[in-house]
Amino acid sequence: MQPRADLYLDRARADSFGAAARVYDAHRPRYPAQLIDDLLMQSPQAVLDVGAGTGIASEQLLAKGANVLAVEPDPRMADIARGKGIPIEIGTFESWDPAQRHFDLVVFGQSFHWVNPDIALPKAHRLLTSGGRLALMWNRLFPTHPTHSDLAEIYRDYMDPGSSVFGGLPNDLVDTDRRTERMTASITASGFTVEQRTYPRHAHYSTQQWLDLAFTHSNHLILAAEKASELRARLAERIGSTGVSVGGDTLLILATRP
């Protein structure tokens, strides 16, 4: 599920990832190889990875020969990225000083919802070279067996179902489409030409793998320890030993600066 557009206002959630940085890096999915290739079709590629976290996208881009600079507000997340050899600077995108640097590609991997779009979109536009591109990416995974509805019955006892990454109600996908439409309109209004691409995803996770992934998401990380333990136990019981079959896609919103 793609997060709410105003999620950046919830600082408790925004600041929750650092304490779980190593677990996050171990269990968050990587981006499809075809998506990375599509981003790097143009050259040269000076890339800015914003809200880079532990460097998941940066690492994939570097492996393809891009010249990457990462920006990340949480030092604990940044330390892991730095350990991978990724050049990284600490700061929020809104306050970060580019020092007159410009880029061919600005990437937000799972991170655009953590910045104020009214500041971030004009700033990205200024940072990009003519013809440069802004890429917003989300891995959108949802369980097909057990289903969203199966898990939502449990999630309702712990969090707002509409905010749950994996336990949302069936209309979550409709809500996601509406959010994407609104975001695309905002990007277009900021002077970009926008296109949208999706990359289908299918996978099967063991019960442990799925729960490890679920508990790297901010609405899980902010739960009190007792509640988190209880939620995890109930989910494990509901899922059982067969694990979780997963569908979904990776959404790419690709915006080009004239």
Q: What is the pLDDT of residues 10-35, one digit of tens each?
A: 677 888 898 999 999 999 999 999 99
Note down the domain range covering 137.
Answer: 7-141+172-203+247-256
* Model pLDDT for residues 96-151, shown as the tens digit of each residue: 999 999 999 999 999 998 999 999 999 999 999 999 999 999 999 989 999 888 88
pLDDT 10s digits, 163-209: 545 443 333 454 567 778 888 999 999 999 999 999 999 999 999 99
Sign of CA dihedral 98, 8, 234, 18: positive
Number of domains in the chain: 1
Query: Given a cut of 50, is residue 1 above it in pLDDT?
Result: no
Summarize the confidence of residues 74-96 as an average pLDDT: 97
pLDDT at 174: 46
Per-residue pLDDT at 170? 36
Q: Does 66 have pLDDT greater than 80?
A: yes
Tokens of 35: 């998506």
Domain presence at residue 136: yes
The pLDDT-based confidence of 89 (bands split at 50, 70, 90) is: very high
In angstroms, the CA 55 to CA 86 distance is: 7
- Give pTM, 2 decimals: 0.91
Between 155 and 48, the higher pLDDT residue? 48
Residue found under tokens 């507000």: 73
Q: Count CB-CB contacts under 10 A for residue 239.
A: 22
Q: Which pLDDT belongs to residue 233?
A: 98
CATH number at residue 13: 3.40.50.150
Give me the pLDDT at residue 181, please.
Answer: 87
Q: For residue 217, is it within any domain?
A: no
H helix and E strand count, the chain: 11, 8
The strand ranges marked E within the chain are: 46-50, 67-72, 88-90, 103-109, 128-145, 193-200, 203-205, 244-256
Q: What is the pLDDT of residue 171?
A: 39
Per-chain mean pLDDT for the chain: 90
**Is the dihedral angle over the CA atoms 25, 28, 34, 35 positive or is it negative?**
negative
Residue 64 is assigned to a structural domain of this protein: yes
- pLDDT value for 167: 41
The reply to whether 122 falls in a domain is: yes
Looking at the chain, the whole-number percentage of residues with pLDDT higher than 90 is: 75
Residue 42, pLDDT score: 80
**What does the pLDDT read at residue 163?**
54
Q: Please check whether residue 209 lies inside any domain of the structure.
A: no
Domain membership of residue 78 (yes or no) is yes
Q: Which residues contact 82 (CB under 8 A, 6 or more apart)?
A: 55, 88
Q: Note whether residue 156 is domain-resident.
A: no
- With respect to residue 214, please indicate whether it lies within any of the assigned structural domains: no
